[in-house]
Amino acid sequence: IATDDAVRVVVVRGAGPVFCAGGDLKWMQESVNLSGPKNLEDTRQLAKMFATLNDCPKPVVGLVHGAVIGGGVGLTSICDYVIASKETMFSLAEVRLGIIPACIGPFVLAKIGESHARAYFMSAERFSDERALQIGLVHEVVETPEALNGACERIAKNLLQCGPNAMTAAKRLVRDIKARTFEESLEHVAKVLADLRVTPEGQEGLKAFLEKRKPNWIK
């Protein structure tokens, strides 16, 4: 997906009555009998999976419904734009099982901030789609699960109007700024913009605007 130019937008959604009910029961049962080193290998692979999804250079749209539990909150957190249907329930339920939301922690923390992460990591409290909207976990709420498709098409159509490489650069820019001091960011953003202006896509976008026509990435 990351290297396929034909893929412009990635959509993450769940099949069935819920987006994600948490960890697979068979996998959880098997983890009970793993040795210390095997457990570490398993959790490293889990963390790597979330990191790989988080590093996807394409815009990722999440469509969530029903229930979003545990790792499902992690998947939601790696999405760039999330649409939830009403009456969707969220919970970071790991502490009720005597474990913690560790592998998804960096992504959830980046999404909802330290204050909300502390509260929900420790309490396993269930919260609504409205609350998820308030804390920044989701960006939009629609009336029914069936309405998710229409909302997704609207968002995807908007994304397809944007330069593919520019969207990748914009996504990377957010992380780059966060990883730098304010002073370092000033020089970095100046260089990024200067470099993008002279790329074929940057040149095409600016020329299309000045010539009052659509750029060539809009079909």
pLDDT at 42 (0 to 100):
86
**pTM, to two decimals:** 0.91
pLDDT at 30 (0 to 100):
74
Distances from the Cα of 184 to the Cα of 121, 170, 192, angstroms: 33, 17, 12
DSSP 94: G
Beta bridge partners of 67: 89
In whole angstroms, give the CA distance from residue 155 to residue 38. Answer: 42
pLDDT at 194 (0 to 100):
97
pLDDT at 25 (0 to 100):
64
**Burial of 65 per CB tally in 10 Å (0-12, 13-18, 19+):** buried
pLDDT at 38 (0 to 100):
84
Decide: 88 and 129 in contact? Cβ < 8 Å. yes
- Which residues neighbour 124 within 8 Å (Cβ) at sequence distance 6 or greater? 91, 92, 93, 94, 95, 96
- The segments of the chain whose pLDDT lies below 50 read none
pLDDT at 32 (0 to 100):
75
pLDDT at 149 (0 to 100):
96
Q: What angle do CA 155, 161, 165 make, to 5 degrees?
A: 105
